[in-house]
Structure 1
């Protein structure tokens, strides 16, 4: 995948988007003087920006109070973005790149009521039995399962966790809980041969602008080719590309 390099930018556009972001973060109608204090832009320039955004419908100014809020045009853009958001289509080029880079099977899994399920795979070596295919539900001790255990909202996974915990020894449950703290900090999970002998996995989360988990990207292959920690070259590559994937969904 070709990576677009950072180049020359339009400073006035960056300033304008900074004003919009400042207003959006307040979550309430905001006066001109408050915007000026937040942005530190001169009053004359700020007025020009606000007047332009108001005319374009990006901001709305209440005529009675003079306060500004996000306008209908931004809502329109947001709805269009949601309607066009097809997670699998958007990440498929990334999955293909990871498949080529790692020379191993790459899976994308999303959440269902029965746990994380594989919904897409890229596999150049169909002869390798990885113990999983599209439609397979992955256990909590898999790298994918660990990502969902760590990043999914607790109320959504409570029943799944309870069911999964019954199938593993109590000491393994305690270890999982501790491991999740590390996964949350490092944003990468590892599992040694969770489903099939000699086959291991490494997984990274895909997060959106609300920091909600959209799914997990997992590399599966023979254990000698799958990293066991974040210091491995493949691990660092996965961490970098996971930031790029999540960034495409607005994660910052």
Structure 2
């Protein structure tokens, strides 16, 4: 979702008609403001100038310079749009971003807020792969660890990763789920039927979060949320996990907004738009 044009504040001390093109920091600020205006939907010089509070002649010089350098592109009948140079820089920036590094401050803050175990994971085939883990302060041990894989359809982070998928993909992953043999599976809650799992996932997709209600490990509950990148795709997920006595449903409900807030922060670092969280699958 693009930024609305009315979110772009006009530049103070706009120059008079015919004044020389500003230099230095002011020029840079105005050039960036032109890009923001075009990203927000402004297509002609009049609209851009109105948003920035600059004259038409200054706006024309700025837009022409940005178009010459390929940051903007002018298309007859359409107007100004973002140019290919921004696409190049966007892909370069994406390649230089380390998910674990940018996520770590948000994970640490979430751990401090909750006192519980925090996970960061991504999808690896039909499993979740744990990239980071911060143990909780309650002295509880969980079998998850960095580099460990678990079935995607049984974990909180896994279900969060599934929120952008189609229902046919949900069913395929549901049918592939299995219980780990290293635990006492008899203590796990009974597996939901496909229809029950589907209805549960529909509710999660609508809300933009997911729960693990002892689906993967006895007495362990999790609240998870997805992380988006600039392409609006879910690329990872985070969760807050603890044992049943510390995770009654009332507390899990209260943690949804907290976990979503941390996920939105990480999404922003990756160029994602937090507003799409909770939009669910198509």
**Is the alpha carbon distance of 1:76 and 1:141 closer, same or farther for their aligned partners in structure 2, counting shifts above 3 Å?**
closer
Equivalent position SS for 1:150: coil
Aligned to 2:233, which of 212, 216, 234?
Answer: 212
Distance across 1 between alignment mates of 2:130 and 2:191: 27
The structure 2 residue matched to 1:179, chosen from 200, 204, 207, is: 200
Q: Over residues 193-252 of structure 1, what are the superposed CA-to-partner deviations in whole Å (9 max), with x where a residue is unaligned?
A: 223332211111111122211111011112232353688443322222222221222222
Are residue 110 (structure 1) and residue 129 (structure 2) matched? Answer: no
Quote the residue 1:5 is aligned against.
Answer: none
Match of 2:243 in 1: 222
Counterparts of 1:166 and 1:93 in 2: how far apart (Å)? 32
Aligned residues: 234
Answer whether contact 1:104 1:123 (CA < 8 A) is retained. Answer: yes
Larger radius of gyration: 2
- Write the mapping of 1:1-252 to structure 2, written as runs, cut at 5 A: 11=11, 12=30, 13-22=32-41, 35-36=44-45, 41=50, 43-44=56-57, 46-60=59-73, 70-125=82-137, 127-134=139-146, 135-152=148-165, 159-164=172-177, 172-226=193-247, 228=249, 232-252=253-273
Taking structure 1 as the reference length, the TM-score comes to 0.75
Q: Distance in 1 between matches of 2:191 and 2:46?
A: 55
In the alignment, is the contact (CA less than 8 A) between 1:146 and 1:189 conserved in 2?
yes
In structure 2, what is the Cα distance between the partners aligned to 1:155 and 1:196?
Answer: 26
- 1:116–1:229: structure 2 CA closer, same or farther, 3 Å change rule? farther
Q: How far, CA to CA, are the matches of 1:246 and 1:220 in structure 2?
A: 20
Summarize the Cα distance change of 1:124–1:133 in structure 2 as closer, same or farther, 3 Å threshold.
Answer: same
Alignment CA distance shift 1:129-1:169 (3 Å)? closer
CA–CA separation in structure 1 for the residues paired with 2:265 and 2:169? 26
Q: Would you say the 8 A contact 1:229–1:235 is kept in 2?
A: no
Structure 1 residue runs without a partner (length 5+): 1-8, 24-33
Please say if residues 61 and 69 of structure 1, whose CA atoms lie closer than 8 Å, have aligned partners that are also in contact: yes
Q: Distance in 1 between matches of 2:89 and 2:69?
A: 13
Mapped partners of 2:63, 2:155: distance in 1: 51
Q: Is the CA contact (8 Å cut-off) linking 1:22 and 1:38 kept in structure 2?
A: no
Q: Which moved more, 1:151-160 or 1:12-21?
A: 151-160
